[in-house]
A and B are shown apart, each in its own frame.
Chain A
Amino acid sequence: MKTTTSTSQRGGSNRLGGTLLLYALAIFWLLVAGLPFYFMVQSGFKAQFDLLTAPFWTLPTRWVFENYLTVLSGPFVRSLLNSVIVVSVSVALVLLVGSMASFVFARTHFRLNRPLFVLIVAGLVIPVHVTLIPVYILTTNLKLYDSLFALIGPYVAFSLPLAVFILTAFMREIPRELEEAARMDGASTALIFWRIILPLSWPGLATVGIYNAVTLWNEFVFAYVLTSSPASRTLPLAIWDYQGQYAANIPLIMAVLSLAAAPLILIYIVAQERVVGGMMAGALKG
């Protein structure tokens, strides 16, 4: 209520002109941001000749569902499942391992506390490429090449710096009195972590979880280097493989892209604030 009054006041004397300009700019960027999506989704419903004969902005003359159905009955589904598995296992590990370490950094005093923390947070800027060759060799030696397990190690490791950074900051804010009271009652450190610190860190865990889930869901380089067969490809690689195989069949590729983008966009529409907050996690604290 308060915001609406102040916004309308802001228009002042040239309110109408200002509003028009506001909408003109807003609509312009809506086109910039939205047109590629429009092109993507509706091209997926076109027959191939339709794309050749009519301009991209016209809707399909005949709506074809075949492209989407073909994709949904192919290796795409397996990759979707792979992505769900790899991302959930990795994020669960990041949250568990990361919060345990953060608890130590936030709550205990030992000489290496600060240096170790700084070293871990420095991991935020490390380019994955510097680890690519050794991780590839390690994966081959462990006979994990081309399996989903190959991805979990690097995924967890590269997600930890941000997780530790955010969760440590979060846990420092939890009042010490709670912990001290529990200790008086004879609770062990592990119990305090599990029963007091972890439940109170819930918002921080959600932020870290969302950020890492989105990043890992879209991860390309490690999956590209460490897997090769459709059975162990994740979603971004499935898109890549489809494009390699059916480059000429544009409607099919657009169907693949639309279906691949759908899960995150749907989750975003349902839980906007949470997703946006999570995606901004890296920057706002940094």
Chain B
Amino acid sequence: MATQTAAAHAITRRQSAPHGWLSEQTITTTLFLLPALAFLVVFIVWPILSSVELSFFEWNGLSANRTFVGLGNWSKLFGDGIFWRAFTNNIIIVVLSIAIQIPIAMALAVLLHRGGRKLQFFKVVYFFPLLMSTVAVGILFKYVYDLQFGVVTPLLETLGLKALSRDWLGDPNVALFSVIVVICWQFIPFYMVLFLAQLLNIPEDIHEAAMIDGATENQYFWRVELHLMRGIIATAITLSLIGSLKYFDLIWVMTEGGPSRSTELMATYMYKEAFASFHMGYGSTIATAMFIIVMIVALTALAIGQRPREA
């Protein structure tokens, strides 16, 4: 089926292709592509290559001479406990983000879908967190978590759970989880709207047919709606996966990777090495490693995502 349409597509394409290239068209085409390519080459392609190159040097970013160290930075990276700690933290964020955000977002989407117009006001407010800049969210929650002036501690006290209270961002054992809660708070609305859009796309006939067949609302959700949402859930997981590996802003604002590296991420470690310690060479090595990891994950996700579609 898929191959048939692809073939048909190829034929129409070939037919509609101009036989000879008018020079006016060729020139315009080139001129139309050039500006975009210039931006991409100068600010993305060349910098990536340059980072790879810098990863073989030792350089403080200021002096004229850089020292070639071969694979020195790379072997250092493989033995660098802090980098692996950061990598592990990235993975923890990936896993928990997906495990927490997607079910809650799905529940909220179903809630809003069932509620319809009645919950319009709720829907508007639910979206707010996504409109704030990550810096603002980070600073806001630093104060929300604050022991003296914050929101969390008095709430726990009111609920009689004072014993649970701790230094949310200062305790290395809980800091990462405190930050993950904020990440979820910020991004759940995104997945919620994504799922809601998909739910609204499911024709009402399907619902009516299921009800006539005697299905309950619960059965309808688990057997029909969820089934029809597999594609969008896969998209959400991929987006969350890639986003979490690149994470920086929120952690930098809330903890700068501390206390004692408990919230260090690849990106925060890279930033510190390059722009605080002026190890531009080693910073580039971390950045390049991060780039390679993200590309591998993205390509794998793409490969997995493509398979069921072709089958």
Task: Show the binding face of A for B, using Cβ within 8 Å.
Answer: 2-4, 6-7, 9-10, 12, 22, 25-26, 29-30, 32-37, 39-40, 43, 51-52, 55-57, 96-98, 100-101, 103-104, 108-110, 116, 120, 123, 125-138, 153-154, 156-158, 160, 164, 176, 188-190, 193, 214, 217-218, 220-221, 225, 235-237, 239-240, 243, 250, 253-254, 257, 260-261, 264-265, 268-269, 272, 275-276, 279-280, 282-284, 286
Contacts and interface: CB of A to CB of B under 8 A. Distances in A.
Majority SS of interface residues in chain A? helix
Contacts of A176: 16
A265 B139 CA distance: 18
A98 B48 contact: no
Contacts of B43: 131, 135, 153-154, 156-158
Given A157-B42, A189-B28, 6 more contacts: A51-B149, A131-B51, A132-B47, A156-B39, A254-B143, A275-B131
**Chain B interface size, under 10 / 10 to 19 / 20 to 34 / 35 or more:** 35 or more
A132 B287 contact: yes
Interface string B230-251: 0000011011001001101100
Nearest to B270: A129
**9 tightest A-B CB contacts, nearest first:** A157-B43, A218-B133, A131-B47, A134-B47, A101-B36, A134-B50, A130-B291, A189-B28, A100-B32
Contacts of A98: 36
16 contacts: A7-B118, A26-B122, A29-B126, A108-B29, A125-B298, A127-B290, A128-B246, A130-B48, A132-B47, A157-B40, A190-B28, A218-B135, A240-B139, A264-B132, A276-B127, A283-B239
Nearest to A269: B124
Interface stretch (B68-76, B78-86, B109-117): B109-117
A25 to B, nearest CB: 6
B190 interface: yes
Given A131-B51, A217-B133, A30 B139 contact: no
A130 B117 contact: no
Contacts of A55: 154
Contact of B239 (A52, A218, A286): A286
Nearest to B291: A130
Contacts of A35: 151
Contacts of B51: 130-131, 133-134
Interface of B: 13, 16-18, 24-25, 28-29, 32-33, 35-37, 39-40, 42-44, 46-48, 50-51, 54, 61, 107-108, 111, 114-119, 122, 124-136, 139-141, 143-144, 148-151, 154, 185, 189-190, 193-194, 197, 204, 207-208, 211, 217, 235-236, 238-239, 242, 245-246, 248-249, 252-253, 266-267, 270-271, 274-275, 280, 283-284, 287-288, 290-291, 294-295, 298
